[in-house]
Amino acid sequence: MGRYVFKLPDVGEGTAEAEIVAWHVKVGDVIHEDQNLVDVMTDKATVEMTSPVSGKVVALNGAPGEMAAVGSALVELEVEGAGNVKANGGAPVKAVPAKAAAPKVEAKAPEAKPAPAEHANPAGMKAAFATRAEGDKPLASPAVRQRARDMGIELQYVPGSGPAGRIGHEDLDKYVASGGRSARGGGGSSYAQREGVEEVKVIGLRRKIAQKMQDSKRRIPHYAYIDEIDMTELEALRAHLNDTRRAGQPKLNVLPFLMRALVKVLPLYPQINARFDDEAGAVHRHAAVHIGIATQTANGLIVPVVRHAEARDIWDSASEVARVAALARDNKASTGDLTGSTITVTSLGALGGLATTPVINHPEVAIIGPNAIIERPVVRQGQIVVRKMMNLSSSFDHRVVDGYDAAAFIQKVKALLEHPATLFMD
Amino acid sequence: MAETIHTKVLVIGGGPGGYVAAIRSGQLGLETVLVEAARLGGTCLNIGCIPSKAIIHVAGEFEAMAHAAKAPLHGIALKTAPAIDFAETVKWKDRVVKRLNTGVAALLKRAKVRVVQGWATFSDGKNCTVDTKDGPVTITAEHVILATGSVPVELPFLKFGGPVISSTEALSLATLPKTLVVVGAGYIGLELGIALRKLGVEVTVVEALDRILPLYDATLVAPVAKWLEKNGVTVHLSAHAKGMAKGKLNVELKDGKTIELAADNVLVTVGRKPATAGWGLENMAVDMAGAFVKIDDQCRTSMKNVWAIGDLAGEPMLEHKAAAQGHMVAEIVAGQKRRFDPASIPAVCFTEPEIVSAGLGPGDDAAKGDDVITALFPFAANGRALAMDAGDTGGFVRVLARKSDHRVLGIQAVGAHVSELSNAFSLALEMGAVLEDIAGTIHIHPTLGEAFHEAALRALGHAIHI
């Protein structure tokens, strides 16, 4: 019998550490080769770690939410044969979690203490009601009923501790003390008060999102710019293209047109299609336009990347957006699918709203957020006419993009979208 | 020039709903005017509950004496049969009523309620004109409490007048008839019919339904049926009065045959209806619910600040319900938070023997099925009942409770003087008693109320005296 230590391998692109998301085995499990041991998450992707050997799990190092350094021991197994460490090496290899201390503290000391059990436990409430059959009038003496009425409390929400669920004065007092609502004026509300606090650990992708957002907002002085765009003509074109598309061509939404506009204008504003390495003090202006597509997935926000958008036509852009978004939603995006964008587009589609103040996807320096298209009355040549209007929201890193340039950039985008033929002219 | 009154609260009707509302309003410092066309106290005090109880009391005394004259009763023997001068009985009854009228007037005065005597006619929701003996008085009020009560239902083929009388006339007969036919075997007809039977009148009862006292279950009514039979009162069930001819009442029996019943008087007690006509209700734009004025659980009508209470506003048409509603409405008008949500509105029949019911009975759907315990304790096993010669009437106290948590759902009793137990029953229901609460309460010995205690014990499976 030997001992085999499974160490966190290099999961790509110079990753130094990964977060443990979920264990799939526990100590004592007998596992076979290729069995999934643990999910870890790097900056960009969640990766399943499978066991290279068969054996019995004797130790797991790290809890979900903790960071593990590349090369640190994740799992120790008892295996047939020699294993990869000396059996007489004695003590199990200690895990060397990278920067583990800080996250550990975070994980073990939740900021908000859950409310006292009496409030938080809705089951306690139910027990008190169990003695009162559904649909029963609450059982209480006339004096208790009167007092409840004076306090504006509906007795059907007050747990009765007496026989047959009878509500006494002390039950009423307890209900009020526990924060049961006493209506402020009026005859009392018939809505029940909700109790309880659920603690949700901010781990995995959620923590990643939190860190990214925090980082972006802390580092980048955002400059937001919003203008409205008359989309009437583009919408007519889009409807026509959708009606006449060939088999195999994707249905077009606004996004590929916006991407087309961006790739046409960005060469004029190279400081916007850039990544700012503020620690090194250098802006890397990219010739290629790799557009991040902010995508909502079941687990949260992910930004897959459409590479070389400048080289894609409308149809190709639409297909590629659909492809990478699907990968992200199905949790199949590779690290490569998720890295390297030079500018990001964030669209809420039908939920677009009037305006947004999008958060820049650091280290990029700009993000563009189209809002909803709405028919609005606008004035054209002294006449009020109904046009399909869309606001275009955007944020820029004001350290490296001047407001003037940002505005001029958006105006050029606007001009292209309002005259859609120009999108396709060189 | 006609007088004009502006007031905060105007109460229409001086019955137990109206005068209680007025007194409570006055107590709460609201300027209050009460309009009554007849005497204060309404149906209950003048021509209903109180006078009938006086007559029933006299009838009971007379019956005992008549019994003793026929054969010694527990050692009492009368040499000659007692005589009754019913006109004197009525005078005594009137004195009782008068005393109470005066009492109500004094209470209203003390509460600073202004009483306007006369007939009110509304022109809209907040304005009425009262015809007083000193001329018309116009009253405008912020709040109007309608408490006009109810009137006996008249049969089209047996119109009131002459020998055909309602309960009102029955309580003020100049002389006792030799024969009386009661049409309608509800509680009013039976209370009066039984009283007059005790006074020696030959009484026949005609009821269209197939049972007497149809609002109560058969078990509860059985002792009354037994008394009627034993005392020579013929009851024709599923029978229909057809009209009077030559001093006789034509009645179609269940089998289709028509008989003639000799009747010096025919007492028609086929129900009461809300008094909605003749005072301008139609001008007030309030919604109706059938024959009644429609109200919510605060006695609000569809017109803002117009309230309706008592018989006018729905079943049950009982004094204590009207008074409770009047009390409540006054407090709501004064800004308090009130709602009409009693656990029960108990009901009593002063028949022989008496019947009481509070809460659910075995006939109610909510009390049917396996999850209800029903326990009955007979007065035949109650010492006090035996000691007052009330043990053999078939009387009992009955408790209905839920099997799962012993919550008391309803309590009924039939027997001598059980009307006085009714408040204990209501209290138990209002307090949300479970069987153990009643079982754990010491009931005084020797009383009829012990039967209530024993019924609860029996429901728990361990009655002592049975």
Q: Is the pLDDT of residue B358 over 80?
A: yes
State residue B112's pLDDT score.
Answer: 97
Most confident of A126-135, A152-161, A344-353, B449-458: B449-458
Of A85, A120, A60, the C-alpha closest to A3 is A85
Q: CA-CA distance, B122 to B115, in Å (whole number)?
A: 17
* High-pLDDT (> 90) share of chain A, %: 44
Please tell me the distance in Å from A142's CA to the nearest CA on chain B: 6
CATH topology of domain A110-199: Dihydrolipoamide Transferase (4.10.320)
What HEC string does A11-76 produce? CCCCCCEEEEEEECCCCCCEECCCCEEEEEECCCCEEEEECCCCEEEEEECCCCCCEEECCCEEEE
Catalytic residues of A: 398, 402
Chain B contact present for A139, CB below 8 A:
yes
What is the reported pLDDT for A191?
A: 66
Quick one: which of B457, B455, B444, B442 has its CA closest to B396? B455
> Which pLDDT band, with edges at 50, 70 and 90, does A104 fall under?
very low
Q: Would you list the domain boundaries of chain A?
A: 2-100, 110-199, 220-424
Residues A39, A22: Cα–Cα separation, whole Å: 5
DSSP state of B177: -
pLDDT tens by residue, A31-79: 888 888 888 887 767 778 888 888 888 888 888 888 888 888 888 888 8
Domains and CATH numbers, chain B: 3-47+90-152+273-333 (3.50.50.60), 164-270 (3.50.50.60), 347-459 (3.30.390.30)
B412, B424 contact by CB (below 8 A): no
Q: Does domain A2-100 have CATH number 2.30.110.10?
A: no
Residue A7's pLDDT is 85
B436 contact residues in A (CB cutoff 8 A): 163
Determine whether the interchain pair A165/B405 forms a contact, defined as Cβ–Cβ distance below 8 Å: yes
Instruction: Output the pLDDT for position B256.
Output: 92
Q: Give the span between the Cα atoms of A265 and A285, in whole angstroms.
A: 14
- pLDDT digits 0-9 by tens, B60-82: 999 999 999 999 989 999 999 99
> For residue A235, what are the β-bridge partners?
none
- Tell me the one-letter amino acid at B275: A
> Across the interface, do A140 and B341 touch by the CB < 8 Å criterion?
no
Mean pLDDT of chain A: 83
According to the model, what pLDDT value does residue B165 have?
97
Query: What is the pLDDT averaged over residues B349-368?
Result: 92
Cβ–Cβ contact A149 with B under 8 A: yes
Touching check for A162 and chain B: CB below 8 Å?
yes
| Residue A91 in contact with partner chain B when CB distance is under 8 A | no
Of the candidates A133, A164, A187, which has its C-beta nearest B406's C-beta? A164
Question: Could you tell me the fold of the domain covering A220-424?
Answer: Chloramphenicol Acetyltransferase (3.30.559)
- Angle A352-A356-A358 from CA coordinates, rounded to 5°: 115
Q: Which of B336, B339, B405 sits opposite A164 (nearest CB)?
A: B405
Q: What is the mean pLDDT of residues A285-312?
A: 93
Query: What percent of chain B lies above the pLDDT cut of 90?
Result: 95
Query: At residue A3, does pLDDT exceed 70?
Result: yes
**∠ Cα A415 A417 A423 (to 5°):** 95
Nearest to A164 among B339, B430, B432 (CB): B432
For chain B, what is the mean pLDDT?
A: 95
Decide if B341 and A133 are in contact by the 8 Å CB cutoff. Answer: no
What pLDDT does A266 receive?
96
pLDDT of residue B1: 55
From B410's Cα to the closest Cα of chain A, the distance in A is 14
Q: Angle B218-230/B187-198 helices, nearest 10 degrees?
A: 30
A163 CA: distance to closest CA in chain B (Å): 7
Whole-complex ipTM: 0.72
Q: Nearest-CA residue of chain A relative to B298?
A: A187
Residue A99 has pLDDT above 70, yes or no: no
Q: Is the pLDDT of residue A185 over 80?
A: no
pLDDT over threshold 70, residue A303: yes
Alpha carbon distance B356, B164 (integer Å): 30
pLDDT > 50? residue B267: yes
Handedness of CA A109, A115, A117, A123 (dihedral sign): negative
Parallel, antiparallel or unpaired: strands A305-306 and A300-302: unpaired
For the stretch B383-428, pLDDT in tens is 999 999 999 999 999 999 999 889 999 999 999 999 999 999 999 9
Confidence of residue B374 (pLDDT cuts 50, 70, 90): very high
* Burial label, B46 (beta-carbon count in 10 A; 0-12, 13-18, 19+): buried
Residue with tokens 């504003």: A269
What are the catalytic residues of B? 445
Q: What pLDDT is stored for residue A38 in this prediction?
A: 87
**How far is C-alpha B35 from the chain's CA centre?**
23
- Asked whether the whole model's pTM tops 0.90, one would answer no
Look up residue B416 and give its two tokens.
Answer: 């001598």
Mean pLDDT of B301-322: 96
Q: Where are the beta strands (DSSP E) in B264-378?
A: 265-268, 272-274, 288-289, 292-293, 306-308, 347-349, 354-359, 372-378
Query: pLDDT: is A269 or A331 the higher one?
Result: A269
Across the interface, whether the CB atoms of B432 and A150 are under 8 A apart is answered no
Residues of B in contact with A150 (CB under 8 A): 336-337
**Radius of gyration (Cα) for chain A, nearest Å?**
30
Residues B170-201 have pLDDT tens digits of: 999 999 999 999 999 999 999 999 999 999 99
Rounded to a whole number of angstroms, the distance from the CA of B423 to the nearest CA of chain A is 14
Task: Identify from B405, B426, B430 which residue to disrupt to test chain A contact, counting A C-beta atoms within 10 A and taking the largest count.
Answer: B405
Helices (H), ranges, B10-166? 16-27, 42, 49-70, 86-110
Q: Is A141 on the interface with B (CB under 8 A)?
A: yes
**Whether B407 and A142 lie within 8 Å, measured CB to CB:** no
How much is the average pLDDT of A118-132? 42
pLDDT at A80 over 70: yes
Q: Give the residue-averaged pLDDT of B285-309.
A: 96
Residue B5 pLDDT greater than 70, yes or no? yes
Residues of B with CB under 8 A from a CB of A: 336-339, 341, 343, 402, 404-407, 430-432, 434, 436-437
Q: With beta carbons less than 8 A apart as the criterion, state whether B141 and B7 touch.
A: yes
More confident: A257 or A182: A257
pLDDT above 70 (res A129): no
- CB count within 10 Å of CB A298 equals 8
Instruction: Answer yes or no: do B430 and A141 touch at CB < 8 A.
Output: yes
pLDDT at B376: 97
Which residues does chain B have within 8 Å of residue A164's beta carbon, measured at their own beta carbons?
402, 405-407, 432, 434
Q: Over 50: is that where the pLDDT of B156 sits?
A: yes
Whether the predicted pLDDT of A142 surpasses 80: yes
Kindly report, residue by residue over B112-135, the tens digit of the pLDDT.
999 999 999 999 999 999 999 999
